Amino acid sequence: MKIADRVEAVPPSGIRRFFELAEEVDDIISLGVGEPDFSAPWAARDAAITSLEQGKTSYTANRGKRELRELIGETMEDNYDLSYDPDEQILVTAGASEALDLAFRTVIEPGDKVAVAQPCYVSYSPGVTFAGGEVCPVRTRREDEFKLTYEMLDESGAADAEALVYCYPNNPTGATMTRDELQEVATFAREHDLTVLSDEIYAGLSYEDEHTSIATLPGMRERTIVFNGFSKEYAMTGLRLGYALGPTEAITAMNRIHQYTMLSAPTTAQYAAIEALESSDDVVAEMRTQYNRRRKLVLSRFEEMGLDCFRAKGAFYAFPACPWDDGHEFAEALLEETKVAVVPGAVFGEGGEGHLRVSYATGMEDLKEALDRIEQFIE
Amino acid sequence: MDLSDEVVELLRENARYSVEDIARQTDSDPSEVEAVIGDLEDEGVILGYRAVVDRDKLEGETIRAVVELNVTLDRETSYDDVAERIAKFPKVEALHLVSGDFDFQMHVEGDSMSEVSNFISNKVAPVPEITQTVTHYVMTTYKEQGIEFGDGSDDDRLSVSP
């Protein structure tokens, strides 16, 4: 069958290749996982089960159940000062990934340049390409602790772009950005009239500074779409539930694609999410505490073994410099000799090379064992 | 949270964490952690460290019972007096003064049902203040000290994912 060029043009994800390697080795301890090791809060799972028992298996409103949108609105307001109207400015989607795809298709004209802050989640660049856009990589650097700066945006040619997409707290680096640091990005976006697609899926996993959304900075609300969801903070990856917050015209347009392609986000997951928002703050806080302890343990151990690693302050990743020149070779050798999987940073785009993504979404005992093995391997 | 509270929380989660691992998780020095644990022990905040064991997986049987105790007090005797007397028996694993239909809830352990019943009828029931005992033998334990029993669930996540 003839496959369309724009699909053929996108290579399979580099992480896929590493996944296949890891699958061939038995009994590995994986620090290569991009999702929580916890399950969704029991109350949320229980609500999902109850909804199924009650036969709640039909579609919901295109934008998602109103009750859920209201709760999302309240939570975003309470946690991040993000104020959006549940009727017109919040769209519930099948994972934040769907929301991002909708946004790409909504704001990108064929040939538009889209600045993508890298290293980043593997879907942004393909998403831009599928939508007909042209990716303009913006490389973040170890020296800046992988934060976006005005200078890097400028040097990368982002001034000609129509949109900028980034994620903080960041996957794969664990980097976060403070309000002051975001001001630079906001200034650049306003000066060059950029639409900002701000992936804040890890906002709830910020350990040192309060998370700030760029949409709360002056003049940014009207040009920003914020993405969040239940996957990371509520450990609900497989339930596929995310959402977008944005200006009415953006959400209305995104909903137009959504209503034709997805109809509505998974109903069962919406019931789980309602319960999660209503009752699971303490469970989420406990997961956050656990991640934070692991984070500190990982960073201390890296320091002790002389592995250069900046202080990652969010998500559940550390991003140490690779002791070998070639991150792929290192990760493969580590896997083969110690059965510990980490992901070479280069699969996450420019600026990732020479680094390793180490996920601490793994139980403490396994994490400690894996760190011992990494230490021995380096020696 | 101050270091002392954090140390208590970590030890309650896993009493086998090394001093070094606790230090790493709390951004502190091992010597500091050592001192804090010493203080907690001296102050009687931390009274001991014990393993949570699924005894069904061991050979030999342990019989456990939860016993409700009702007492009648007089001017000279308080709940504390009665409790101290009962708690001294090594077979008593736990003892709580509780609200509701009875006064004390006592957890007892022994090697057989007869051992446990003999203990209750010969040692506990005769205590003059105790007016009534109701014994519930434990049939299955599902969770103890926050730890679920059973085989747990497998990690079925993809080994590497974005």
- Tens-digit pLDDT profile for residues B18-60: 999 999 999 999 999 999 999 999 999 999 999 999 988 999 8
Same domain, A266 and A292: no
Q: Which residues, at least 6 apart from B154, have a Cβ–Cβ distance to it below 8 Å?
A: none
Same domain, B69 and B133: yes
A151: confidence class by pLDDT, cuts 50, 70, 90: very high
List the beta bridge partners of residue A195: A163
- CB pairs < 8 Å spanning A and B: 55
Same domain, B73 and B26: no
Torsion, Cα of A270, A271, A276, A277 (10° steps): 70
Contact B25 A343 (CB under 8 A): no
- Tens-digit pLDDT profile for residues A337-347: 999 999 999 99
- Tens-digit pLDDT profile for residues B106-145: 999 999 999 999 999 999 999 999 999 999 999 999 999 9
Integer Cα distance of A61 and B105 in angstroms:
52
Same domain, B22 and B76: no
Say how many Å lie between the first and final Cα of chain A, rounded: 51
Q: How many domains does chain A have?
A: 2
Contact B10 A121 (CB under 8 A): no
Which residue type sits at B51?
A
Same domain, A109 and A49: yes
Integer Cα distance of A362 and B156 in angstroms:
12
Same domain, A229 and A146: yes
pTM of the model: 0.93
Same domain, A222 and A317: no
Domain residues for A244?
Answer: 42-279
DSSP of A156-195, one letter per residue? TTGGG-SEEEEESS-TTT-----HHHHHHHHHHHHHTT-E
Q: Are the beta carbons of A231 and A95 closer than 8 angstroms?
A: yes
Q: Which residues, at least 6 apart from A303, have a Cβ–Cβ distance to it below 8 Å?
A: A309
In a domain, B100, yes or no: yes
Integer Cα distance of A182 and A374 in angstroms:
35
Same domain, B71 and B130: yes
Nearest to B162 among A13, A30, A296 (CB): A13
Residue B160 has pLDDT above 80, yes or no: yes
Integer Cα distance of A237 and A96 in angstroms:
10
Residue A245 has pLDDT above 80, yes or no: yes
Residue A180 has pLDDT above 80, yes or no: yes
- Tens-digit pLDDT profile for residues B71-98: 999 899 999 999 999 999 999 999 999 9
Contact A297 B25 (CB under 8 A): yes
pLDDT at res. B154 = 79
A95: left (phi over 0), alpha (psi -120 to 50) or beta: left
Nearest to B160 among A30, A123, A296 (CB): A30
pLDDT at res. A112 = 98
Integer Cα distance of A50 and A24 in angstroms:
39
Q: Are the beta carbons of A292 and A204 closer than 8 angstroms?
A: no
pLDDT at res. B101 = 95
Same domain, A249 and A288: no
pLDDT at res. B61 = 87
Same domain, B19 and B63: no
Q: How many CA atoms lie within 13 A of A231 on its CB side?
A: 25
Tell me what the mean pLDDT of segment A188-211 comes to.
98
Residue B153 has pLDDT above 90, yes or no: no
Phi, psi of B145 (to 5 degrees): 45, 40
Give the mean pLDDT of chain A: 97
DSSP of A316-355, one letter per residue? TEE-PBPSSS-HHHHHHHHHHHH-EE-EEGGGG-TT-TTB
- Tens-digit pLDDT profile for residues A292-333: 999 999 999 999 999 999 999 999 999 999 999 999 999 999
Determine if the peptide bond prior to B128 is cis (ω within 30°): no
Nearest-by-CA chain B residue for A301: B24
Nearest Cα of chain A lies from the Cα of B68 at a distance, in angstroms, of 31
Same domain, B65 and B121: yes
A6: confidence class by pLDDT, cuts 50, 70, 90: confident
Same domain, A348 and A240: no
pLDDT at res. A52 = 98
Residue A95 has pLDDT above 90, yes or no: yes
Angle at A301 between CA A298 and CA A304, to 5 degrees: 150
Please report, for the domain that includes residue A219, its CATH number: 3.40.640.10
Same domain, A14 and A68: no
Domain residues for B35?
Answer: 3-42
Contact A296 B27 (CB under 8 A): yes
Let me know if A95 is exposed, middle or buried by CB neighbors in 10 A (0-12, 13-18, 19+). Answer: buried
User: In Å, what is the CA distance from A88 to each residue of A64, A70, A343, B12?
Assistant: 11, 11, 40, 47
Nearest to A35 among B23, B25, B161 (CB): B161
Integer Cα distance of A368 and B21 in angstroms:
9
Q: How many domains does chain B have?
A: 2
Nearest Cα of chain B lies from the Cα of A23 at a distance, in angstroms, of 7
pLDDT at res. A193 = 98
B85: left (phi over 0), alpha (psi -120 to 50) or beta: alpha
Residue A59 has pLDDT above 90, yes or no: yes
Please report, for the domain that includes residue B64, its CATH number: 3.30.70.920
Same domain, A204 and A266: yes
What is the b/e burial string over A63-94, where b = at least 16 CB atoms within 10 angstroms of the residue's CB? bbbebbbebbbebbeeebebebebebbbbbbb
Same domain, A148 and A273: yes
The structure tokens listed for B8 are: 């208590």
Contact A32 B160 (CB under 8 A): yes
